[in-house]
Structure 1
Amino acid sequence: MTPLFEDEHLLVLEKPSGLLSVPGRGPDKQDCLSARVQARYPEALVVHRLDQDTSGLLLMARGIEAQRRLSRLFETRQVHKRYLAVVSGQPLQTQAQVQADAQGWRCIDGPILLDWERRPIHIIHPDGKPSRSRWRALQSTEAATLLELEPVTGRTHQLRVHLQSIGHPMLGDSLYAPAEIRALSPRLMLHAQELAFPHPFTEAPMAFSSPMAWTASPPGCAPPQSRTAPPSPCP
């Protein structure tokens, strides 16, 4: 697993869809991004995760102190993450009553709780943890919409649960989309495309981008293509 960026303190990687971030239960779930990285960088430690079916940028620490400092950046919301997703329908129409800011961003607020009887599925529930996601539409057709997404909080499956909760599940989502929406894509249409944070030791601004050439055109967005350009700092 070759990093997109490395220095003595951290690694920036790109996880493909279908690969676990960390080992799961059972011998058939030991292949994962962290194991592949640690085969080359034994000191590498997990800081955050992406869902198995989500692709995109992921950060790992090199050593305990780097892990502690990076984890603190996540806890204090100093890590900026932006995702690309394709969802069913037209949220601009169904959410027209939700006020947008000057840049077109709207919020979804909904407390998220693990449904123990159906785990790993999560649900919106009053007893859940407070959760907020921001979204704005980039492109829309009658059947689907290409969105930019920003998780303000970091709950498990947050973006998927929030979009499903407003009636717009992601194409290819095996957990939260009905069969006809799931069938529109061979994979979950969710990609972590931007990652920005202050360096945990120097405080220098760090920003990375992993573009994905997706559209909102059904039947759903053609299968994902490779990056159209090499990873580069975000503008």
Structure 2
Amino acid sequence: MQLVEKHMAVLSNDAIRLQEYGVGVFERIATKSALKKAIKKKMIFVNDKVATTATFIKEGDKIEYRFDQNDDTRKKFRLKLPIIYEDDYLAIINKPAGIVVSGNNFKTVANALCQNLNPSSIHDAAKPQPAHRLDFATTGLLLIGKTSSVIKELNRLFEFKEVQKSYYAVTIGAMEPKGEVNLQVDDKEACSIFEVLETIPSIRFNYLNLVKLSPKTGRRHQLRKHMLAIGNPILGDATYFKQGLMLKGKGLYLHAQSLQFIHPKTYQEMYVDTTLPVKFNKLFRSIS
């Protein structure tokens, strides 16, 4: 028996190649390589005609993915994800520690989204996709797109730095009350703002600080690298640490605490935050 997934194209710009538009449109085709294979096998149709790698997509085109029922043998990754906010266009989840957001692995946040989120009723509904990344060990808020047009718009918001993010971290050692770190990461300009909210004495680490971090750029491991660079590595960091000051077994004390942006469809100003993990509360009275 042949099954069909359908999608109606929504474009705000000129026509683009199917290979660019089609990634993430269908639940079973999450990567460019998977889309290319489906096209090669003549499983993708545009306006009832077999698509090719040269096919362009324009506003209103009907795209179909036709596959045999026996081919749908995928294992499903079961992972409960706390949903902080959800509507038909986007969602915000609270990412747990110890899992990657996306990639070639089976166990990713991206592969668990469909089982946790409600299907979108919008005509360009797509497989939910994370709009940004959090490190494997980092917890906290992750923004998800649920339609093709919103996925593209969220990517644009991040590209033009129109999403404000704040993190909470526990850092090691004496710190200035607040400051700005401007140090290149991977040979690219990078800027992080920090503010110490509370400091407690520690026998092993001398001082531990509850710090609010606001990245102004989005480089890989930026906050972790910047805190180590100023002599105050993040507690529990197994990669960026000072010799003899690495805490094992408790995980990384870095949490994506808030997101602020303009909703790409309702144009409402969104501000979403979440409570800190219990391990933060055990250290600092101000958040207990």
Paired position in structure 2 for 1:56: 140
SS at match of 2:224: helix
Residues 179, 15 of structure 1: alpha-carbon distance in 2 compared, 3 angstrom cutoff:
farther
Q: Which runs of structure 2 are paired with 1:1-150 in the superposition (5 Å)? A: 1-24=81-104, 29-41=105-117, 43-92=127-176, 105-113=178-186, 128-141=187-200, 142-150=206-214
State the secondary structure of the residue aligned to 2:245: helix
Q: In 2, are the aligned partners of 1:151 and 1:159 still within 8 Å (CA)? A: yes
**Cα distance change, pair 215–6 in 1 and its aligned pair in 2 (3 A):** closer
TM score, norm. by length of structure 2? 0.62
Give the Cα–Cα distance (whole angstroms) in 2 for the partners of residues 85 and 159 of structure 1: 9
**Bigger Cα Rg:** 2
CA deviation map 1:7-42 (0-9, x unaligned): 111010000111111134xxxx42111111034556
Matches within 5 A, 1:138-177: 138-141=197-200, 142-177=206-241
Structure scoring higher RCO (CA < 8 A, sep ≥ 6) equals 1
1:160-208 per-position Cα deviation (integer Å, ceiling 9, x unaligned): 0000111111110011013532226611000001111100112101111
Percent of residue pairs bearing the same amino acid type:
30
C-alpha RMSD over aligned residues: 2.3
Report the 3-state secondary structure (helix = DSSP H, G, I; strand = E; otherwise coil) of the residue aligned with 2:101: coil
**Bigger Cα displacement from structure 2, 11-20 vs 37-46:** 37-46
Rounded Cα–Cα distance in structure 1 between residues aligned with 2:228 and 2:88: 40
Number of positions where the alignment pairs a residue of Structure 1 with one of Structure 2: 192
In structure 1, distance between residues paired with 2:220 and 2:192 = 12
**Secondary structure of the equivalent of 1:82?**
strand
The aligned amino acid for 2:212 is E
Amino acid at match of 1:204: Q
Residue 214 (structure 1) shift: 5.7
Whether the aligned pair in 2 keeps the contact of 1:170 and 1:181 (CA below 8 Å) is: no
Match of 1:233 in 2: none
**Structure 1 counterpart of 2:245, from 171, 177, 181:** 181
Change (3 A) 1:147 1:214: farther
What stretches of structure 2 of length at least 5 have no aligned partner? 1-80, 118-125, 201-205
Q: Runs of 5+ in structure 1 lacking a partner?
A: 93-103, 114-127, 229-235
SS in 1 for 2:244: helix
Contact 1:172–1:183 at 8 Å: present in 2 too?
yes
- Any idea what SS the aligned residue of 1:146 has? strand
